[in-house]
Amino acid sequence: MRARLGRPRPGTGAATGLTDTARRIIRLNYGFQLLFNLLWWMPVFYAYQKAAGLSDGQIFGIQSIYYVAFCLLEIPTGLIADRIGTRNCLRLGAVVMTVANLAPVVSASYTGFLIHFLAIAAGRSLTSGAASAYLYDGLRAERCGEHYLRAEGTARALGLAAKVVCWPLVGPLMALAHPAPYVLSAASAAGSLVCAVLLPRLAGAEAGADTGRDGGGRRGSAFLRDAGTALRCVASSPWLALVMVQGVAVFTLSRICQVNLFQPILLDHGIGEASHGGVLAAMTVAEAVASARPQWLSRRLPPVAWVSVLSLALAGTLAAMTLGGPWTVVVLLCLFAAATGFAFPVQRKLVNDAVPAHAPRATLLSVESIVDRAVCALAAIAAGAYLSAGHLDALLWHSALATALLLGAFQLLLRSGVVARAGRDGNRALPTPTCGNAGADGPASAEVGDGTPALADTGDAGRKKALEPDQTPQRPRTT
């Protein structure tokens, strides 16, 4: 069976229209993702902190603390989402984000900015897995799971488009009122809280979570049990672990390029700082368009192969930047952003499909986020060392080579069939209440050729397979 990235064919079961509840979930998710991630201060936070009297050491020291805090908070916040419900976790994250954006307004000092970024780490970690888990489970509960990929990609695209529109306004607004970027960010976060409050309750999925009870009176050890369950799921499902590892290349390359290497690359090619905003806007547009249209990818390759191809495209684009002139580099950066836009929603769908039934989904998504950010932190240290030595071109080439080696090893494991066999054997030995079916035979997964799951159910047969044996959508464990 082939993976289908495009629209389902008319007349198949996968073409079922959205229910009213599913449509409401998607629209409110769009609003939440757009407003929650609309950080007006992003283009000016360095200059803002410099104007407040902070040194470069203090500014980058706060950034280092932020990444460490984000990693440390991912597992606890994922566990919180699985215990109190993803909808409640989104509300809590929006409250924390609103308060976080007001901290520099109250105290524009080292302490104020440190509190600000620590709270940002807490707020974002509360929602990083919960938002995706809520959307995925909500659409499956409405039997509209085939719409997840487009909903995830469109939400990302809308958020990027909002940044393109809003970020050019930051400078004039700061001239009118200096704290405006942080006040507007707080207002946006408050708007995301309204969207989270209006999200519908998932039928049966959060019955115990929304009441604050854990069903059996377990409280103190419940979080540890969920953490153990998540780790057992990863250990017993080679397919899930492998999909997570494959996503590391996409996340690390995109983050390192768009955050750490963006300005050094432009400056190295003689593109002045006055043009950086325009280039960043063009990249954001390219990423937004691609994120909204993952179905443009050909159906000839399964989704897991597309992630590998796009990862190699990212690496090759970075390496090619060492050979071209200024205009070539700008075009390559836009192509890099477009490849990132295509890859993220496909990768997120792959991971969600690989999560076993009855597993703590938000916790597992947090595990993936920790792996991504841990590797990214190491890559950032290496990038700093290369740049300090003046070896930017070597960094880009070595990044491409490391990506090619990682994905080559991934494809060898995939083609050997060892992963699929290990996943099935391991899952049979694992009790169903602990983790459920895992690996390539996980929930909502139709196998494609080499045992990898398709992105969407394909017709009535795919829908029937996804719902067997109890004919009800599978949900993460919440008891």
- CATH number of domain containing 128: 1.20.1250.20
- Domain for residue 476, yes or no? yes
Question: Where do runs of H (alpha helix) occur along 355-416?
Answer: 361-388, 392-416
258 and 225 in one domain? yes
Kindly list the distances between the CA atom of residue 122 and the CA atoms of 67, 223, 303, 456, in Å, as whole numbers in the listed order. Answer: 11, 17, 32, 32
Of 262, 283, 252, the C-alpha closest to 407 is 252
Tokens of 461: 């047969």
Cα separation, 72 vs 62, whole angstroms: 15
157 and 69 in one domain? yes
Domain stop point among 183, 206, 229: 206
187 and 137 in one domain? yes
Name beta bridge partners: 447: 453
- Domain for residue 3, yes or no? no
Residues in Cβ contact with 244 at an 8 Å cutoff, skipping those fewer than 6 apart: 234, 351, 367, 368, 371
Tokens of 74: 């991912």
Kindly list the distances between the CA atom of residue 288 and the CA atoms of 78, 163, 291, in Å, as whole numbers in the listed order. Answer: 27, 10, 5
Question: Where do runs of H (alpha helix) occur along 167-275?
Answer: 170-176, 180-198, 207-210, 222-236, 238-255, 262-268
* Overall residue count recorded for the chain in this entry: 479
Give the position of tokens 């440390």. 72
Give the position of tokens 């990044």. 399
Single-letter residue type at 110: Y
* Max Cα–Cα distance, the chain, nearest Å: 65
433 and 473 in one domain? yes
399 and 304 in one domain? yes
Q: Is 436 left (phi over 0), alpha (psi -120 to 50) or beta?
A: left
Give the position of tokens 């908070």. 73
265 and 179 in one domain? no
Please provide residue 434's backbone torsions phi and psi, each rounded to the nearest 5 degrees.
Answer: -80, -45
Please provide residue 321's backbone torsions phi and psi, each rounded to the nearest 5 degrees.
Answer: -65, -20
Of 349, 292, 291, 279, the C-alpha closest to 321 is 279
Domain stop point among 163, 179, 206: 206
Kindly list the distances between the CA atom of residue 195 and the CA atoms of 30, 54, 156, 292, 311, in Å, as whole numbers in the listed order. Answer: 9, 36, 16, 21, 34
Cα separation, 195 vs 197, whole angstroms: 5
Name beta bridge partners: 452: 448
Q: For residues 454 and 302, is the Cβ–Cβ distance under 8 A?
A: yes
326 and 281 in one domain? yes
265 and 236 in one domain? yes
Cα separation, 257 vs 468, whole angstroms: 43
Cα separation, 324 vs 320, whole angstroms: 7
- Domain for residue 316, yes or no? yes
- Domain for residue 135, yes or no? yes
Q: Supply the DSSP symbol for 439.
A: G
- Domain for residue 70, yes or no? yes
Cα separation, 181 vs 232, whole angstroms: 43
The H or E element that residue 84 is part of is: helix 56-84
CA dihedral 101, 361, 463, 10 (to 10 degrees): 20
Domain count across the chain: 2
- Residue ranges for the chain with pLDDT beneath 50: 1-15, 207-208, 210-220, 421-434, 436-479
- Domain for residue 7, yes or no? no
102 and 58 in one domain? yes
Tokens of 235: 């250990």
Q: For residues 229 and 435, is the Cβ–Cβ distance under 8 A?
A: yes
pLDDT at 432: 37
- Domain for residue 342, yes or no? yes
DSSP assignments along 245-306, one per residue = HHHHHHHHHHHIIIIIIHHHHHHHTT--GGGHHHHHHHHHHHHHHHHH-GGGS-TTS-HHHH
Domain stop point among 148, 178, 206: 206
CA 346 to chain CA centroid, nearest Å: 11
429 and 375 in one domain? yes
Tokens of 160: 């990027």
Host domain of residue 32: 18-206
- Domain for residue 10, yes or no? no
263 and 125 in one domain? no
pLDDT at 216: 40
pLDDT at 78: 65
355 and 462 in one domain? yes
Q: Supply the DSSP symbol for 145.
A: G
